[in-house]
């Protein structure tokens, strides 16, 4: 199981110095990857509550969040080996052509180290702000992935759909990785799982009960067979949002609890066959990022 770590792109650690410090220490500790995520805004009166808190309130560190792709570009300039991923950015916040160009640029500048994790998003407030209807997310995502990949691979890019139209055009900027950087999707619903089976290179779950991941992966692999794809090619990359507590918790999310419980979650993730696990102390200070990075590396080693 490969091991990754989140970049400090929100809260007090989201500084140039913090990003450089975590990036360089990750390479020193032989981490395999570094990751970013996305939050566009914090509504004063949310239409959609945050699922990570009991009362649906948004964490304080959500109020100050850097751009996930720009942070990866900055990290690429201060590293040589570690892979650079998003887990995840929201398709409704982008046009597929502009995202294809930004992603290809990062892949070129980093020497082919980009991993692109995408999701449909859950915030009605953010989608409303971006002019994307929540009810259109699934159909839009299907087209989005097709346009994205055509921009990366086709000599002449062309598309005509419900949401996107591209007249025959030349886009010569292509990623270093062939045919394109890995695309991982976050998914919860059956329809989203099918999208992984038909369009993606992997599944990037977060906040799933780890013992339920195996069954979901089996379902995706069955759909891949039906779609004529090789299920052995599917990757499982688990995100662990770490919140350490002094004492063990009886009811908790994965990777929330005492250090012993966190270690148990890491081992369980390995046991279910994850290809990669990455962890992050969201909203922490730069020192807390480095401390957890060193502690997890030592424990996993």
Q: Is the whole model's pTM more than 0.75, yes or no?
A: yes
Whether 110 shows a pLDDT value over 90: the answer reads yes
Give the tens place of pLDDT for each residue, 215-271: 999 999 999 999 999 999 999 999 999 999 999 999 998 999 999 999 999 999 999
Q: Which two tokens stand for residue 81?
A: 């080996």
Mean pLDDT of 80-94: 97
CB-CB contact of 205 with 217 (8 Å): no
Confidence of residue 187 (pLDDT cuts 50, 70, 90): confident
Confidence of residue 206 (pLDDT cuts 50, 70, 90): confident
Report the DSSP beta bridge partners of residue 84: 34, 114
191 contact partners, CB below 8 Å, separation of at least 6: 138
- pLDDT for res 159: 98
- pLDDT for res 190: 87
CATH number of 7-229: 3.20.20.30
Cα dihedral across residues 18, 19, 24, 30: positive or negative: positive
Confidence of residue 44 (pLDDT cuts 50, 70, 90): very high
Confidence of residue 41 (pLDDT cuts 50, 70, 90): very high
- pLDDT for res 211: 84
Whether 178 shows a pLDDT value over 90: the answer reads yes
Give the tens place of pLDDT for each residue, 157-171: 999 999 999 999 999
What phi and psi, each to the nearest 5 degrees, are found at residue 287? Answer: -65, -40
| HSE toward the beta carbon, residue 75, CA cutoff 13 A | 36
- pLDDT for res 54: 81
Higher pLDDT residue, 53 or 149?
Answer: 149
Whether 16 shows a pLDDT value over 90: the answer reads yes
Q: What are the structural domain ranges in the chain?
A: 7-229
What phi and psi, each to the nearest 5 degrees, are found at residue 208? Answer: -85, 145
Q: Which two tokens stand for residue 88?
A: 């995840």
Give the tens place of pLDDT for each residue, 49-73: 998 888 899 999 999 999 999 999 9
Cα–Cα nearest to 242, from 257, 230, 252, 223: 257
């Amino acid at each position: 199981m490969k091991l990754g770590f989140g970049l400090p792109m929100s809260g007090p650690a989201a500084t140039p110095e913090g990003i450089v410090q975590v990036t360089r220490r990750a390479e020193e500790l032989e981490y395999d990857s570094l990751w970013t995520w996305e939050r566009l805004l914090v509504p004063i009166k949310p239409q959609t509550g945050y699922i990570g808190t009991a009362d649906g309130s948004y964490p304080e560190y959500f109020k100050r969040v850097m751009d996930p792709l720009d942070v990866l570009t900055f990290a690429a300039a201060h590293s040589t080996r570690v892979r650079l991923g998003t887990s995840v950015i929201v398709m409704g916040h982008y046009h597929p052509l502009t995202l294809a160009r930004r992603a290809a640029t990062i892949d070129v500048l980093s020497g082919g180290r980009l991993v692109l994790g995408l999701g449909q998003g859950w915030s009605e407030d953010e989608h409303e702000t971006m002019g994307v209807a929540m009810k259109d997310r699934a159909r839009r995502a299907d087209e989005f992935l097709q346009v994205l990949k055509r921009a990366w691979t086709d000599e002449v890019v062309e598309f005509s759909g419900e949401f996107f139209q591209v007249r025959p055009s030349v886009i010569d900027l292509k990623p270093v990785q062939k045919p394109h950087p890995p695309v991982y999707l976050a998914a919860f619903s059956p329809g989203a799982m099918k999208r992984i089976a038909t369009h993606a290179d992997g599944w990037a779950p977060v906040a799933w009960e780890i013992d339920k991941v195996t069954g979901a992966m089996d379902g995706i692999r069955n759909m891949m067979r039906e779609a004529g794809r090789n299920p052995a090619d599917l990757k499982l990359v688990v995100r662990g949002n770490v919140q350490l507590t002094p004492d063990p918790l009886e009811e908790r999310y994965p990777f929330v609890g005492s250090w012993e419980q966190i270690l148990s979650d890491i081992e369980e993730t390995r046991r279910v066959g994850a290809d990669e696990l990455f962890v992050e102390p969201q909203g922490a200070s730069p020192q807390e990022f480095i401390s957890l990075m060193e502690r997890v590396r030592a424990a996993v080693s």
